[in-house]
Structure 1
Amino acid sequence: MHRTFFPRDMLAEMDRLQRDMQQAFDLAPTIRGFGSNGFPALNIGATPQAVEIHAFAPGVDPGTLEVQLERGLLTIAGKRASVLPEADAKAAVHINERFEGAFRRMLTLPDDADPDAVDAKLTDGVLRITIRRRASAQPRRIAVQ
């Protein structure tokens, strides 16, 4: 008979089991294979002057990338081609954790983002999108008399 010194919380065990089952069936691609965050991975930050978005998309051809901004919704779409060998009797793939195929990420931007002041650059597999804030929304110092 196995005996434990720490009593188990049945609800915690059920929660752990549910998380494990969700991870097993979750099919959203990430850099490690399959997870829940999607491709490309994003870093999003803001300054008083702009919103900065970094999309990590190594191996994506710049010609396939499409960045659109419509009614406060930013869409990043594209396609990453396969790097696997062609179907060949002598070649075999044992593990394939790299995401390939079409992707689309959509983000809602803050109300003060200026749709006419957007800059997007792809450098070393990182797509950097800068969206300036409207001048009327930027903080300003008011002189007290």
Structure 2
Amino acid sequence: MVATLLRTPASWFADLDRLQREVERAFGGFGLPVSIRAAGGAAFPAINIGSTPTAVEVYAFAPGLDAAKLEVTVDNNLLTLAGERKIDAPDAKSTVYAEERFNGSFRRVVSLPEDVDPNQVEAHYKDGVLHVRIGRRESVQPRRITVN
């Protein structure tokens, strides 16, 4: 048999990992993510988005922010999260050799479904998680029709 037909799917993952290492070696110094599974630095804060029949729920994971300096806007079905995260710099005697935590200004824009109502937006920041709830228009919500 041909050797490539005898390969198992597990070996395909090994090939992908090898390819990932080669890409890291070739392009590692250009600010690209260190993993094909990782998001780039522009993806701060990390978010989860879900929906219910009455709302769209967005959770942004952004510890260390001042809630008063967060800017949340909804315009033309786009949710914009903006702000700044400042991290205390080490003293002059220290040398930083690794910095993995995001520091500086950020802006994240999320496209929303057509049926959201920009007048029904609530935002709460607690324990490093920003929860934004955008209600859906009542005209598009399912309603029960009484049969006579």
Q: Secondary structure at the match of 1:136?
A: helix
Tell me which residue corresponds to 1:138.
141
Matched, 1:84 2:89: yes
Tell me which residue corresponds to 1:119.
122
* Matching of residues 1-145 of structure 1 within 5 Å: 19-20=20-21, 21=23, 24=28, 25=30, 27=32, 35-36=38-39, 38-86=43-91, 88=92, 90-145=93-148
Which TM-score applies when normalising by structure 1? 0.76
C-alpha displacement of 1:15: 6.0
User: How many residues are matched?
Assistant: 133
Cα 1:26/1:85, change in 2 over 3 Å:
closer
* CA deviations over 1:86-143 (Å, ceiling 9, x no partner): 4x1x222232211111111111111110000100111111000000111111111112
Q: Which has the higher helix share?
A: 2
Q: Which has the higher strand share?
A: 1
Which TM-score applies when normalising by structure 2? 0.75
Identity %: 45
Cα 1:7/1:134, change in 2 over 3 Å:
closer
Letter in 2 for 1:101: G
Q: Note the residue ranges of structure 2 that are not aligned, 5 or more in a row.
A: 1-5
Once superposed, which parts of structure 1, at least 4 consecutive aligned residues long, lie more than 4 Å away? 12-20
Q: Note the residue ranges of structure 1 that are not aligned, 5 or more in a row.
A: 1-5, 30-34
Root-mean-square deviation (CA), in Å? 2.9
Q: How far apart are the structure 2 equivalents of 1:57 and 1:28?
A: 19
Q: Secondary structure at the match of 1:143?
A: coil
